[in-house]
Amino acid sequence: MSGHSDGIRRKKGGRRVEFLIAAKACGGGVTTILWIIAVILVIGGIVTLVRGAFLYGIVLIIVGLLIGPGGVSIFC
């Protein structure tokens, strides 16, 4: 597939280019805040796993990974 009307070039079956463009759109302050929130959620998830609440701990870790600005982020 070549370019679309929005000027984003996509690979067949992939959205890698869109994620890269979205990651560059984050400002420095937003990135820092998202990292802090993500770290708190992941550490909280690990502590919750150690305490025995496995499902809640896994959910916290996954949410933390989705919020953090590195890799896949639902906000940036």
Which one-letter DSSP state was computed for residue 26? -
The confidence score (pLDDT) of residue 67 equals 87
Q: Which of 19, 11, 27 is nearest to 66 (CA)?
A: 19
- Whole-number average pLDDT of the chain: 75
Tell me if 57 sits within 8 A of 46, measured CB to CB: yes
Q: Alpha-carbon distance 65 to 23, whole Å?
A: 14
Is 0.75 topped by the overall pTM? no
- Give the mean model confidence (pLDDT) for residues 34-41: 91
Tell me if 70 sits within 8 A of 64, measured CB to CB: no
Q: What is the pLDDT of residues 1-19, one digit of tens each?
A: 444 545 555 555 555 555 4
